[in-house]
Amino acid sequence: WITTNTRAYDVAVHSSGRIPLGIKRKARRVVVTGGAGFVGSHLVDRLISRGDSVIVVDNFFTGRKENVMHHFGNPNFELIRHDVVEPLLLEVDQIYHLACPASPVHYKFNPVKTIKTNVVGTLNMLGLAKRVGARFLLTSTSEVYGDPLQHPQKETYWGNVNPIGVRSCYDEGKRTAETLTMDYHRGAGVEVRIARIFNTYGPRMCLDDGRVVSNFVAQALRKEALTVYGDGKQTRSFQYVSDLVEGLMRLMEGEHVGPFNLGNPGEFTMLELAKVVQETIDPEAKIDYRPNTEDDPHMRKPDISRAKELLGWEPKVDLRKGLPLMVSDFRQRIFGDQKEGAT
């Protein structure tokens, strides 16, 4: 479902700076790469609801039309099937650059493609931002800290990353994307923003995503055992998607380049997470221990002091409040209209 990029919003603004009577105020034109994905589609909802004109650019590797199809027919919404590894010409004011698979299962599927997306894709979107004078926001990741030797992680920490491991296509890819972003900022004066996102969950995550929250929720709903990798003592901090979207928008609209950690500092071992899932969905759910994956970070927890101070942002939805919101979406997608599994 593709539309062209011709619009009535490109009206000239009067040279006085005021908008002449009878001419519509120019809407902000925003590109969201990866906008058909999990985080991107929630961001698009917020941007559309505040009146922006939104262009989603997505190759549908992990994204789905279902995530954005409620906007089809809205003149403020366009969807372009495009791979960001190829150049793209558009006229826009802001670029939220999210295009990149985020789940380890997906980003390890074709690692060369993942690193091309992070490096060439980011280069193209920065080239676009430079040409049209758009503000550019990179969604980087807590994975830039690797298997961290500092805890919790502050933005000033440079990380502990294996450059030749199975995760490197993603974490080294994102580190290079951050470098490119800063070099376009320093060298070409592009207005940039960098967010380092920590583990995020919520409705519209892929059911077969392989990430721990989506796995546990789908498994508990299907009455399968929860697959805990390793001894389950590794930690993560889980952020509900609406908190992240609020943080991304504040970052884009604010005056600070970053990088900013955006995550929920509530820290859980995987066994503790399994317990919350059991309490929320099925207290009888069993645990099935599996071998852990290579280079799995032992712990992760954001220090969000910088975002609190400079963006006035902090997460509002804790795991016990956010999980049920995701469960109802998963239940609907797994069981459809059937009644089984409903509690």
Q: What six digits make up the tokens of 90?
A: 């558009």
Residue 330 C-beta: closest distance to ligand UDP, Å: 14
Options 8, 12, 89, 112; binder of ligand UDP; rule CB under 6 A: 89
Q: Name the β-bridge partners of 282.
A: none
Options 228, 248, 262, 281; binder of ligand UDP; rule CB under 6 A: 228
Number of residues that bind ligand UDP (CB under 6 A): 23
* 78 SS3 class: strand
Options 154, 229, 272, 314; binder of ligand UDP; rule CB under 6 A: 229
Q: State the binding partner of 261 from ligand UDP, ligand NAD, none, CB within 5 to 8 A by kind.
A: none
Q: What six digits make up the tokens of 227?
A: 């697959």
DSSP output for 213-279: HHHHHHHHHTTPPEEEETTS--EEE-EEHHHHHHHHHHHHHSS----EEES---EEEHHHHHHHHHH
Of the ranges 92-100, 175-183, 240-248, 290-298, which one interacts with ligand UDP (CB under 6 A)? 290-298
Options 66, 279, 296, 309; binder of ligand UDP; rule CB under 6 A: 296
Task: Check: CB of residue 267 under 8 Å from CB of residue 237.
Answer: yes
Please say if 170 is a catalytic residue. Answer: yes
CB nearer to ligand UDP: give 229 or 335.
229
Q: Using the rule CB under 6 A, is 199 a contact of ligand NAD?
A: yes
Q: State the binding partner of 88 from ligand UDP, ligand NAD, none, CB within 5 to 8 A by kind.
A: ligand UDP
Options 47, 71, 95, 101; binder of ligand NAD; rule CB under 6 A: 101
Containing 319, the helix (H) or strand (E) segment is: helix 319-335
Cis peptide before 152 (omega within 30 of 0): yes
